[in-house]
Amino acid sequence: MATDETQRTEAFPSGIVSVGLSEVKRQIPSDEPPPLPPNAELAVIGKPTARQNGRAKVTGAIRFTVDISLPNMLHGGILRSPLPHAAVAAIDVVAAALVPGVRAILPIATPDAILRYVGAPVAAVAADSPAAAEEALRLIRVDYKPLPFVADLDVARNPASPPVHDSASAPAGDAHGFPAPAGLPLHGNVRGPATVTRGVISQGLAEADIVVEGEYRTAVQTHCCLEPHAIVADWRTDGLTVYMSTQFTAGVRHELAAAFDLPLSRVRVIVDGMGGGFGSKSSLGNYGRFAVALSRQAQAPVRLVLDREEEQMDAGNRPGTWQQLRVGAKRDGTLTAISVLSYGTAGVAVGAGVGSFAEALYACPNFESAQYDVFINAGPGCAMRGPGNVQGAFALEQAIDELAGRLSIDPLALRDRIDPSPVRREERRIGADRIGWHRRRASGADAGPVKRGLGVAQSLWGANVQINASCEVRVMRDGSVEVLSSVQDIGTGIGTVLAQVVAEVLGLRPEAITVRIGDTEFPAGPPSYGSRTTASITPPARTAAWRVLQALCREAAPVLNAAPEQLAARDGKIVVLGDPGRGMKFADAAARLRTDWISAVASRSDDYGGFRRRIGDAAIALQDLGGVQFAEVAVDTETGIIRVERVVAVQDCGRPMNPRQIESQVQGGVLMGISFALFEERIIDQNSGRMVNPNLEQYKLLGARETPEIEVAVLENYQGQSATDAYGIAEPSNIATAPAIANAVYNAIGVRLRTTPMTPAAVLAALGKIPARS
């Protein structure tokens, strides 16, 4: 890290633009660029900018992993367990090996192996054609010895339920758990608790004038990326090349090197078009290992693409939860106690907690949480857009709404009292104005069968940063410019944002920047998860562009009869500051380069004001990300159908880089939140342990007809923390939606729905019109 001599002090803009800006002084590394002014003073950053690969996407020209076809490529397939819990007594692949065209067979579940969910991999094959691979899988004979199973969260909590794991197989928890620290006790199928305690909860409850208590449930949600998990593995004697639909090329490269004992220099990971991940494509995965092993065995490239049923059963999911909340408050709304008890299930995996949402969102001196993972015989969960906090917010933000009702305080006024964040205060103000909060009436005020209501809920998410993120910028002798990083565009449009950043520094248009990303041949970029991509890669992109510009200015300075530090880049020119008449075209300056191109590589420095926490290559910024969302719903009390008619989403992400793409992403977060609230549920048949809706017709997703009017507003919030001061938005935009809808439904009908999905049957049951689902 830089010493005192290598640092300098700079004054950065600080604060929320709509509230008023001030200045903050920061020590920054002396080889990083000066503070970036607010967006209003910039030419490219912060302006709506067309997606750099938009044309390739609307013409179908962009190549997704599923579109990769290599010479002599084989087609892989995976045989999966038909039983939720079984021992493999014997496995016979002789007949499969005789199928013409079969080139490799990979045993996965060897005799005596235990299979713990329907869809667990048993064996994999690679063949000349998909049909030959399918035929070979059909001919693998497996003798399964069925074992007792449990496929329900509540049943699995019973100590007498069949054990899913033994002490050796039970996962202890890892960094992907939310939370799942290692070393938690295991009793039956229950791992935990992970606990957090602040103050004395009994005292807080005793001091309370009012305590609201409630039980909440969230269903298992699956990612449903439109592009399935896909890989093409090309094992060669001189190295391994993998094309993969992944959220983290650089991470997969590390995983492959470790799994196959290869030096990093012999492993290359490539992704261009990437058809959605939402957390489920964060790592190599078992299918990735199988494809590479098959390619090594067959000495040929192997394509392995999961089908939709495999996607639904064994490609990750958002764990389901049961939560019990107790919130105590004084009559004026001051919180005295928050207690959270949760049992969640990530199937055979861990990480089914409900996050730190209740711990961190509001000022409350007494807090306790106990979070348990419950194992069941079902496919493993994994991170999904706002993991933990989406489930946690559904419960807490309803409890706060309920508290406001009991105290006869407006829900926004209550939050003004208990929420210390000045950012969310401003977001509440803007959102209330946009939605017309003054129209909100008492619960169930509509006379007719269709009742309307307004609801609000808040979001909270850590501002993550990947500190080993790197980026290169090259200027060619003809004046063309490249930006290079292994960072992948999973649909968020990071390539466009990189072009904007480089264009801003070099005084060019973003269309003029060639974006080369998604390939580990380039400097290692950050993952696209944890809403950290923009925060991690845009500062080094600006720093690299700034350094390369300095080199260019050294070439131009003698021609312009000026010192290099007097020069600046704007409007396609290198100009002399304070003397606008003197300048030369950017391309003419580049033509003076001694070499064909010059380059600078920069990596992410620490946030200038420091981090809250460092965990390996990741860090959490001092400030949080969040947002406030308002929903307007119409509930038909005769059919039970909830229609979300309007959503106002007010979000923050530090400096907004590309408002057009941000709007798209927030709309996506809102729509995934509505879908989670109203429609989505993995249903497992308790007699067979099988998912009965492993498809896209019975696993119900929101479509265009369920899409409400969505209004997005984004704060400009500067903190002077990096060369761009930009942070993420994907996850924070997905957290507040479901509870905002639930609170609006309560406002409409006067009955609270505490379970997702809020189906018509659930509405009618809550209204007492039909019996409740058992």
Q: Is the dihedral of CA 172, 166, 344, 701 positive or negative?
A: positive
Instruction: Give yes or no for residue 67 binding other proteins (CB under 8 A).
Output: yes
Residues of this chain, 261-320, that bind other proteins according to CB under 8 A = 273-276, 278, 307-310
Other beta carbons within 10 Å of 200: 14
Nearer to other proteins, 571 or 709 (CB): 709
Nearer to other proteins, 396 or 691 (CB): 691
Instruction: Give yes or no for residue 728 binding other proteins (CB under 8 A).
Output: no
337 and 364 Cβ atoms separated by less than 8 Å: yes
Nearer to other proteins, 103 or 754 (CB): 103
* Paired tokens of 197: 């305690």
344 and 376 Cβ atoms separated by less than 8 Å: no
CB of 199 to other proteins, least distance (A): 40
With CB under 8 A as the contact rule, the residue among 154, 664, 761, 767 that binds other proteins is 664
Angle at 245 between CA 244 and CA 249, to 5 degrees: 65
CB of 76 to other proteins, least distance (A): 11
Instruction: Give yes or no for residue 540 binding other proteins (CB under 8 A).
Output: no
Instruction: Give yes or no for residue 710 binding other proteins (CB under 8 A).
Output: yes
HEC assignment per residue over 404-456: HHHHCCCHHHHHHHHCCCHHHHHHHHHHHHHHCHHHCCCCCCCCCCEEEEEEE
CB of 322 to other proteins, least distance (A): 26
Which of these ranges, 355-363, 486-494, 497-505, 638-646, lies near other proteins under the rule CB under 8 A? Answer: 486-494
Instruction: Give yes or no for residue 432 binding other proteins (CB under 8 A).
Output: no
CB of 497 to other proteins, least distance (A): 13
What does 135-146 look like in DSSP terms, one character per residue?
HHHHH-EEEEEE
Which of these ranges, 26-34, 75-83, 433-441, 586-594, lies near other proteins under the rule CB under 8 A? Answer: 75-83
Other beta carbons within 10 Å of 595: 8
357 and 393 Cβ atoms separated by less than 8 Å: yes
Q: Tell me which DSSP letter residue 36 carries.
A: P
With CB under 8 A as the contact rule, the residue among 34, 37, 54, 436 that binds other proteins is 54
Write phi, then psi, for 178 (nearest 5 degrees): -135, 75
Nearer to other proteins, 274 or 382 (CB): 274
Nearer to other proteins, 153 or 230 (CB): 230
Q: What binding mask, one character per residue, do residues 233-272 give for other proteins by CB under 8 A, x or -?
A: ----------------------------------------
Which of these ranges, 343-351, 511-519, 637-645, 667-675, lies near other proteins under the rule CB under 8 A? Answer: 667-675
Which of these ranges, 154-162, 295-303, 369-377, 701-709, lies near other proteins under the rule CB under 8 A? Answer: 701-709
Please tell me the count of residues contacting other proteins according to CB under 8 A. 72
Residues of this chain, 77-96, that bind other proteins according to CB under 8 A = 77-83
With CB under 8 A as the contact rule, the residue among 11, 30, 41, 55 that binds other proteins is 55
Instruction: Give yes or no for residue 387 binding other proteins (CB under 8 A).
Output: no
Which of these ranges, 63-71, 155-163, 293-301, 497-505, lies near other proteins under the rule CB under 8 A? Answer: 63-71
Count CA atoms within 13 Å of residue 7 on its CB side.
12
Instruction: Give yes or no for residue 769 binding other proteins (CB under 8 A).
Output: no
CB of 704 to other proteins, least distance (A): 4
With CB under 8 A as the contact rule, the residue among 134, 154, 416, 482 that binds other proteins is 134
Nearer to other proteins, 232 or 361 (CB): 232
With CB under 8 A as the contact rule, the residue among 7, 18, 53, 566 that binds other proteins is 53
Nearer to other proteins, 323 or 533 (CB): 533
Angstrom distance (rounded) from CA 718 to CA 262: 43
What does 576-624 look like in DSSP terms, one character per residue?
ETTEEEEEEEHHHHHHT-SSSEEEEEEEPPPPTT-EEEEETTEEEEEEE
With CB under 8 A as the contact rule, the residue among 1, 40, 704, 771 that binds other proteins is 704
Residues of this chain, 615-634, that bind other proteins according to CB under 8 A = none
Residues of this chain, 113-132, that bind other proteins according to CB under 8 A = 118-119, 122, 131
Instruction: Give yes or no for residue 147 binding other proteins (CB under 8 A).
Output: no
12 and 24 Cβ atoms separated by less than 8 Å: yes
Angle at 413 between CA 412 and CA 418, to 5 degrees: 95
Pairing of strands 367-374, 335-345: parallel
Closest CA to 722 of 7, 33, 218: 33
22 and 7 Cβ atoms separated by less than 8 Å: no
Angstrom distance (rounded) from CA 636 to CA 682: 25
Other beta carbons within 10 Å of 258: 12
SS3 of 513, please? strand
